[in-house]
Homo-oligomer: A and B are copies of this chain.
Amino acid sequence: MNLETIAQMSGVSRSTVSRVINNSPNVRPEVRERVLAVLRETNFHPNVAARSLASGATRILGLVIPLEVRQLFMDPYFPLLIQGVMGACNTHDYSVMLWLAEPEYERRMIQQILHSGLINGVIVSSIQSDDPLIDALIERSFPFVVVGRSPEGKHVPYVDVDNVSSARRAVEHLIGLGRRRIATITGVPGTTVGADRLDGYRLGLRGAKLAEQPGLIAEGDFTQEGGYRAMKALLQAHPDAVFAASDSMAQGAVRAIQEAGLNIPQDVAVVGFDDVPFAAHMQPPLTTVRQPIEQLGRAAVDLLAEMLNQGLEQPQHRLLTTELIIRSSCGSE
C-alpha cells in the first residue's frame, strides 16, 4: 500500500495524492474530496522514512534531559515538562524522542542527534554550565531551544519563567500586606534562577522605597536544610516576612521560625517559589509562586517549530508569567 495504489484508486497521479496529504492548496475541491475518501477508506498513512528522505524533514524532535532517570522522576518538575512537550508535539504533528543523560551514552547521543538526520530539532532542559551538547549544537547551527535560561548567558534561544518579575510580585504582595522588614533566602549563588529571583526581591523593595539591609538577605541552596540554616541567621535581624526562592527552602524556614517560638504569619509571613505539591499541605499552607511548567514545555516546542518553519535569525527568548498562589502563610486573611 503506497501512494501509487491510492493514486490509481482515486484516478489521479501520485503527485496529486501527495498534494492532498500535505494540504497543498493547489488541488481542485472535487479531486481533493475523492482522494480523501480513498485515504479514509484505506486508512492509508504515508511511509515516514520515504517522506523524510524526500523532504529532508523527519518531523521528529529530540527532548534531552541531562539527568539520570532516577533523579528525573523524583522531581515533579520534569513530568509536567515532558507532558507539555509531548502535548505540543502532538499539536504540531511532531514525534518526540526522549533522551536522558546516562553518561555512557552521551557522546553517542550527540553524534546521533547531529549526524544521522533522524532528529530535526532539539529541546534541552536545564543545561549544565559546560554542556558539550549545547556547544556541538551551536557549532553545527542545529536548531534547538533551551528550557530555562542558560547560566553563562550564551546566546541561545530559550524559554523560561519570568523569575525577576515573579519574585518582585511576591515581595510586593508582602509589602501590600503591611510588611516592612522583608527578608529573602536566595537560591544557589551564581545560578541564573537564584540571581533573577534576588533581583526581583530588590526591585520589589525599591519600588516601595524600602532600604535593602544586608542582615535581611541570606544565602540558600534550594534545599530545605539550607533554608533552615538561612532562616536561623535571618531571625537575628527580626524580619516580619521572608521570601524564599524555593518551596523547599521555605519549608526549612518555616521550621526555623516555629522553633524560635514565633507564629506564621502573625510574626513572620512566608512566601515560597515553585508551588510543589507539598506547599498546599504545609502548616500553615504556603503562599508561593506557581510556575506554568507544562506551558513551558509547550512554549519550547512552539518556538522550535517556528524556527524550523521560518528559520528565525536571532535566538528568540520567551518568558512566561507565573501565578501567585495565596494561602495562609503570608497572612492575607
Tell me how far the C-beta of A275 lies from the nearest C-beta in chain B, rounded to whole angstroms: 15
CA distance A239 to B126 in the complex (A): 52
Q: Which of A65-116 contact B (CB under 8 A)?
A: 69-70, 72-73, 76, 78-80, 82-83, 86-87, 90, 95-98, 100, 102, 104-105, 108, 111-112, 115-116
**A257–B160 CA distance with the chains assembled, in angstroms:** 50
A58 within 8 A of B: yes
Question: A213 within 8 Å of B by Cβ?
Answer: no
Q: Is A53 an interface residue (CB 8 A)?
A: yes
Indicate if the CB atoms of A117 and B49 lie closer than 8 Å: yes
Chain A interface bracket (under 10, 10 to 19, 20 to 34, 35 or more): 35 or more
A43 interfacial contact with B, CB 8 Å: yes
Task: Kindly report how many copies of this chain are found in the complex they form together.
Answer: 2
B47 and A117: CB pair below 8 A? yes
How far apart are the CA atoms of A105 and B108 in the complex, in Å? Answer: 31
Question: Quick check: B79 and A102 within 8 Å, CB to CB?
Answer: no
> Which B residues touch A43, using CB under 8 A?
111, 115
Contacts of A132 in B (CB 8 A): none
Interface check A207, CB cutoff 8 A: no
Contacts A72-B79, A73-B79 known; A116 to B50 CB distance under 8 Å?
no
The answer to whether B78 touches A48, judged by C-beta atoms less than 8 angstroms apart, is: no
Which residues of A (33-64) have their CB < 8 Å from a CB of B?
43-50, 52-53, 58
| Chain B residues, Cβ within 8 Å of A97 | 95-98
Instruction: Evaluate contact between A90 and B105: CB separation under 8 angstroms.
Output: yes
- Given A53-B53, A90-B105, A100-B86, also A116-B47 (CB < 8 A): yes
CA distance A118 to B96 in the complex (A): 12
Provide the residues of chain B in CB contact with A52, threshold 8 Å.
48-49
Listed by A's residue number, 25 A-B pairs whose Cβ atoms lie within 8 Å are A43-B111, A43-B115, A46-B116, A47-B53, A47-B116, A47-B117, A48-B52, A49-B52, A49-B53, A49-B118, A53-B53, A69-B80, A69-B82, A69-B86, A70-B79, A73-B73, A73-B78, A82-B100, A86-B100, A87-B102, A90-B104, A90-B105, A95-B112, A95-B118, A97-B98
Q: Which 6 A-B pairs have the closest CB atoms?
A: A45-B115, A49-B52, A73-B79, A49-B53, A69-B83, A48-B118
Report A's interface with B, CB cutoff 8 A: 43-50, 52-53, 58, 69-70, 72-73, 76, 78-80, 82-83, 86-87, 90, 95-98, 100, 102, 104-105, 108, 111-112, 115-118
